[in-house]
Amino acid sequence: MCFSAEASFVSSAVLTMAGVATLKQAKNPSQLPLAALPLIFALHQFSEGLLWLSQSNDLPPGLVDFLTRAFPFIAYVVWPILVPLAVSRLEDSAERRKLLLSCQTVGVVLGLFYLYYIAKGPVTAVFINQSIHYDFYFSFWILSQWLYGFSIIGATFLSSHKIITVFGVGLVISYNIAKQFYLASYPSVFCHLAAWLSLIIFLEVKYGEGFRWGQDKKQDPVSAEQAG
């Protein structure tokens, strides 16, 4: 099957190992929010794997309801808040940080907006074409989707770190693949693809300082002294 409990659990296991390895590579506290993303994706995929099991197993209704809300909570509340914050924490350019502040602000407002509707409910999960469609009502659907992209994709494109920008490009491609082939359940499919893309964060945490865009790249103190 394309997506299933097995696919979610395998993704969760791989991302857990990668997430632990990524956190170990963090050299300073500013890297921790970004380094934590693979582990959060691992939790995201694990929660969906458990939800898949509810098809063939009698899980307590309270647990099913919790899992049904857990996936959209991480996707719609955590990501638009955490991703811009993680990118901003790594940024040295004052100009870029000012621009990233707009992504952070939109992300926080949007996350709280979605949280209201998720908590209000109802939230349901429907299994369609080997994927899961999460259904809950929220107003301003088109506008909120554009703002979601602005907060997350916009932040990665504003980063001076090349690997983070590549991650953002991958998210755009993944979104379009999910929307093209899994329209009814594209948020779930998109998050699954994005979870695997997050493995690139290991490279950013370990080598990212050496891959910057142009003048934003940090200059070695000795080289700067020689240049002066």
pLDDT tens-place string over residues 51-97:
988 877 777 888 889 999 998 999 999 999 999 999 999 998 899 99
**Does pLDDT of 222 surpass 60?**
no
| pLDDT at res. 211 | 72
Residues 86-141: tens digit of each pLDDT: 999 999 889 999 999 999 999 999 999 999 999 998 999 888 877 788 888 889 98
Q: Does a structural domain hold residue 29?
A: yes
Cβ atoms within 10 Å of 203's Cβ, excluding its own: 15
Q: Could you give the CA distance from residue 228 to residue 116 in angstroms, rounded to a whole number? A: 55
Cβ atoms of 125 and 132 within 8 Å: the answer is yes
What is the arithmetic mean of pLDDT over 135-160? 93
Residues 12-36: tens digit of each pLDDT: 999 999 999 999 999 999 999 999 9
Count of domains observed in the chain: 1
Burial class (CB in 10 A: 0-12, 13-18, 19+), 127: middle
The angle subtended at Cα 38 by Cα 35 and Cα 153, nearest 5°, is 85
Q: Does a structural domain hold residue 91?
A: yes
Q: Does a structural domain hold residue 143?
A: yes
Q: Does a structural domain hold residue 63?
A: yes
- The residue range of the domain holding 165 is 5-216
pLDDT, the chain, mean: 87
Q: Could you give the CA distance from residue 86 to residue 107 in angstroms, rounded to a whole number? A: 12
Terminal-residue alpha carbon distance, the chain: 61
Q: Does a structural domain hold residue 211?
A: yes
| pLDDT at res. 134 | 87
